[in-house]
């Protein structure tokens, strides 16, 4: 009997070794000591190849994303369009390039829109400019605020100008030149309490350190030398800000401002528009090319009309005259 039992255990042990060597699963309570032959992974080399190809793939994607610049010069029609200009009065906009008018024609159209729509004749006229703020070496033109004298003001009244000064002689000069309120540090609390407010705030350099409490209150109206609201020549500053028109650069590159009313004569509207464009272009560094990329004019109730800004700006003097 003992011999039969030993024979059975030998047979079971042999079956176990056979199963372990073949890698198959076992269901016995015997401890598994045989080593399995694990497969070799080959994914590392494949991943390395993909990483090497990534730069090339990125370059191809960049090339696809780059806009294709097509030169339409001397073409009988623009690329992808039907013609340069429509023949009929009714046409599909996307089949033709955008219509860009002369400034005089755009003003005439605004006046015609008002007559056809029976809207207010005294509605404001706006100009919307998109500026090229880029400079060399990834620099940009600093955002600016400017005040300009329009040759034909569209406002009936004068602006209220508050002057900060503590000098008795300067107080007298400011009052003689039409200042709305003149004073020193005693005006800070009334301004914070909204008891006193003005359209513009002017200050002499000596009093600026005492006005720091008004920076958060006045914000863009706080006196600054860049805006011309800090200086010693009070008559000049008061003359500018009492009758001047202020505009600023918004959203990094846009100028949107009113410059006339639609009931004004056409030549006065164009004169005001030219004054604004000349002042805007004066903030562009010399020899940096055109400053205005896109110009739009519109009234309060009309559609936006694109116009050629270079036709409004004065032409530069010819070099021949300088040589002579």
pLDDT of residue 320: 41
Q: Which of 299, 296, 295, 297 is nearest to 261 (CA)?
A: 299
Q: Which CATH class is domain 98-143+251-306?
A: alpha beta
pLDDT of residue 155: 87
Residue intervals in the chain for CATH 3.40.50.790: 161-245
Q: What is the pLDDT along the chain (324 residues), one digit of tens a residue?
A: 566 667 767 767 666 666 555 555 544 454 555 555 656 555 555 555 555 555 666 666 666 666 666 777 777 788 888 887 888 878 888 888 888 999 999 999 999 999 999 999 999 999 999 999 988 878 888 888 899 999 999 988 899 999 999 999 999 999 999 999 999 999 999 999 999 999 999 999 999 999 999 999 998 899 998 888 999 999 999 999 999 999 999 988 999 999 999 999 999 999 999 999 999 999 988 777 789 999 999 999 999 999 999 999 987 754 444 444
161-245: CATH topology: Rossmann fold (3.40.50)
Residue intervals in the chain for CATH 3.30.190.20: 98-143+251-306
CA distance 257 to 144: 14
pLDDT of residue 278: 94
Distance between start and end Cα atoms, the chain:
135
pTM, entire model = 0.71
Asked whether 166 and 188 are in contact (CB, 8 A), the reply is no
**117 CB-near residues (< 8 Å, 6+ apart):** 301
Q: Which of 156, 107, 105, 142 is nearest to 127 (CA)?
A: 107
pLDDT of residue 318: 46
For 110, the token pair is 């605004």
CA distance 192 to 186: 11
pLDDT of residue 233: 93
């Amino acid at each position: 009997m003992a011999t039969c039992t030993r024979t059975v255990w030998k047979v079971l042990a042999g079956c176990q070794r056979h199963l372990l060597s073949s890698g198959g699963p076992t269901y016995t309570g015997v401890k598994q000591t045989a080593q399995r032959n694990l497969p070799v992974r080959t994914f590392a080399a494949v991943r390395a190849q993909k990483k090497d190809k990534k730069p090339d793939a990125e370059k191809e994607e960049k090339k696809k994303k780059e806009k294709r610049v097509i030169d339409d010069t001397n073409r009988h029609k623009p690329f992808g369009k039907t013609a340069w200009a429509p023949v009929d009065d009714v046409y599909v906009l996307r089949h033709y390039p955008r219509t860009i008018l002369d400034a005089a024609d755009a003003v005439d159209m605004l006046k015609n829109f008002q007559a056809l729509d029976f809207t207010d004749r005294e509605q404001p006229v706006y100009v919307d400019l998109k500026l090229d703020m880029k400079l060399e070496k990834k620099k940009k033109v600093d955002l600016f605020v400017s005040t300009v004298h329009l040759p034909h003001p569209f406002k009936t009244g004068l602006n209220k100008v508050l002057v900060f000064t503590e000098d008795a002689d300067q107080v007298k000069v400011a009052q003689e030149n039409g200042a709305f309120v003149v004073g020193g540090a005693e005006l800070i609390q009334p301004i914070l309490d909204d008891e006193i407010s003005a359209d513009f705030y002017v200050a002499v350099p000596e009093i600026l350190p005492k006005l720091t409490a008004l920076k958060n209150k006045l914000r863009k109206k706080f006196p600054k030398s860049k805006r011309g609201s800090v200086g010693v020549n009070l008559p000049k500053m008061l003359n500018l800000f009492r009758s001047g028109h202020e505009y600023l650069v918004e959203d990094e590159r846009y100028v949107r401002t009113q410059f006339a009313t639609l009931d004004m004569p056409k030549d006065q509207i164009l004169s005001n528009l030219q004054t604004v464009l000349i002042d805007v272009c004066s903030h562009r560094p010399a020899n940096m090319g055109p400053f205005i990329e896109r110009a739009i004019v519109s009234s309060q109730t009309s559609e936006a009309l694109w116009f050629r800004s270079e036709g409004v700006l004065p032409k530069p003097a010819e070099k021949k005259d300088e040589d002579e």
